[in-house]
Chains A and B, each alone.
Chain A
Amino acid sequence: MADTKYTKDHEWVRVDGNTATVGITDYAQEQLGDVVYVELPDVGKSVGAGDEAAVVESVKAASEVYAPISGEVVEINEALADAPNGVNEDAAGAGWFVKLKLSDASELEKLMSEDEYKSYLAELD
């Protein structure tokens, strides 16, 4: 399985070749509660690292999902439009948000590894 990297805003990114899959972490979905709506960008849109890439809305709040790295949107998870609960059920897998065509692989180095993210979460509690 490819290496997964994390942001402080609780997004994850997993790179496979030239494509990076982006989602929110299990911790994020748990904090949000039941997700009721996901707004995804158009395919072809270019996003910079830290730009708003999507919006996730739960019964508690609406939050922005930021692109962990820059790139062009090549695919979006259409299934979330009809079944936003996918984010709650499998945030780290089937509940992914967008796939980006990687523009600068070195940006990945600035993100947290799984262990680093876990200790970051421990600090938050």
Chain B
Amino acid sequence: MSTKTTFTGHRGLVYEEPLIFERSRDGACGVDLPEPEGVASRLGGMERQGGVGLPGLSEPEVMRHFVRLSQKNYSIDAGFYPLGSCTMKHNPRLNEKMARLPGFSDVHPLQPQSTVPGALELMSELARWLMDLTGMPAVAMSPKAGAHGELCGLMAIRSALEARGEADTRTRVLVPESAHGTNPATAAACGFTVDAIPATEDGRVDLAAFEAKLGPDVAGIMLTNPNTCGLFERDIRKIADAVHDAGGYFYCDGANFNAIVGRVKPGDLGVDAMHINLHKTFSTPHGGGGPGAGPVVLSDALAPFAPLPYVTSTGGELRLVEDEQSSDADPFGRMVAFHGQMGMFVRALSYMMSHGSDGLRQVAEDAVLNANYVLASLKDVMTASFEGPCMHEALFDDRFLKGTGVETLDFAKAMIDEGYHPMTVYFPLVVHGAMLIEPTETESKETLDNFIACMADLAKSAKAGDKTRFENAPELTPRRRLDETTAARKPVLRWTPPAPAQAAE
């Protein structure tokens, strides 16, 4: 590749963009007004003595700064995004059009309820869809993301245990080894102790080991289905019955609900609480950290403890219940300042209504079909960790790289040079050097074939000992291979202004 350096530091039309503070110039922003004449200050010596430390740029400079940064972002709208466990869903433009309707985008959370009946109806209608699709009798709409939803579910479980007088004795939560890290973290944050359940050879919960761990001190189980290996937990009914017989509750992590929408109702599986990542399962752009929304569906046993606020109907009129006095249930409290992630509610309901229940079922089926196509095409080239068929994501490990000197990380970095955002790596922890591939449900066969061909070509290079393709990759990106170790050990988290050239006045 070219080692040409440039006078400007830019590469082609890819700009080296400094921080906005580094671009700042005194006097570049604001409006020039003449000094007022004949006016005495009435601030009594409280006038500002120096700058406030905000960057100074003109409007076009600000525009260019943020446009350039946005061009460095990678998104599902730009290309294939096979990040496992994250569900990069296609985001139809219709959702955006709906979310921008002034009646939704311009409402304020403190507006009188009488002025926003449409917003309340939308929340109520979305809740109805969620309850119908999951077969559950209640839903808490306010949690703001998956892990927040987990917290909501576990707080409801804790409240139910308190109501039974067993909060002090039921202190243990069972979590499978392959769980999302947020599951044990949530249980611990709620004051429970975490007990790991081992997996079987075929990547499912070890039922015998699970049953052996049940006892009078078990508050419940947190289980992801389909699980993080991309596999359906076949024994889920038995697990639900066993935990209920032992007096515990069943929290299902719904992060992978997108694989089973329209085919399986979690209510039929014996679930007591499950969060639904609206941004994954019912679309909304969420790369780069947000936003999220994680409504939690609840069983009859937990429904009375659902948090405030919630929408209810009296005599056909919708109203928002915002405090315990006006609630006829036993809410455990409030988790958010306002009412939930309204912009995502609009997008999710648009997605549901434009697809219909049959369309949502097909979305799930296409996601599973795509993942199985990748699994079947690559299982002899790479090493599949478990026998297929899989659900919405295909899990590989690094056995095919053994002895090549190339590791999972190098393989992922070389994919970037080829124009592919890497899959999730080193997760789940239950297999060595994991590579978890989740293709978006809308990808065409042509896109998948190109990706598969590229993966096969990289695997062939690695096995042939062509380490140069991997060891310094990526080489074609603005920044090359990052020093992740130093970044983690000595992170630079704060911009420090250069020493002033002269003392302030």
Contacts and interface: CB of A to CB of B under 8 A. Distances in A.
B209 to A, nearest CB: 16
A61 B485 CA distance: 12
A95 B427 CA distance: 26
B452 interface: no
Interface string B459-477: 0000000000000000000
Contacts of A34: 484-485, 488
B426 interface: yes
A37 B409 CA distance: 19
A60 B489 contact: no
Nearest to A63: B429
Interface in A52-97: 59-61, 84-85
A37 B484 CA distance: 13
B489 A61 contact: no
Chain A interface, >50% SS class: loop
Contacts of A59: 484-485, 488
A13 interface: no
Interface string A25-49: 0000000001011000000000000
B480 to A, nearest CB: 17
Nearest to A59: B484
Interface residues of B, number: 8
Nearest to A36: B488
Nearest to B407: A33
A34 B407 CA distance: 14
A48 to B, nearest CB: 14
Nearest to B181: A62
A61 B488 contact: no
Contacts of B488: 34, 36-37, 59
A45 B39 CA distance: 68
B489 A36 contact: yes
Nearest to A31: B432
Contacts of B485: 34, 36, 59, 85
A84 B489 contact: yes
Contacts of A84: 489
A60 B408 CA distance: 10
A85 B489 contact: yes
B433 to A, nearest CB: 9
Interface in A1-37: 34, 36-37
Contacts of A36: 485, 488-489
Contacts of A60: 409, 426
A37 B489 CA distance: 7
Interface string B384-422: 000000000000000000000000010000000000000
A34 B426 CA distance: 14
B489 to A, nearest CB: 5
A36 B484 CA distance: 9
Identify which of B409, B426, B484, B485 gathers the most chain A CB atoms within 10 Å of its CB: B485
A61 B484 contact: no
Contacts of B429: 61
Given A36-B489, A59-B488, 6 more contacts: A34-B485, A59-B484, A59-B485, A60-B409, A61-B426, A85-B485
9 closest cross-chain pairs (CB), A and B: A36-B488, A34-B485, A60-B426, A59-B484, A36-B489, A59-B485, A61-B429, A61-B426, A59-B488
5 contacts: A34-B488, A36-B485, A36-B488, A60-B409, A61-B427
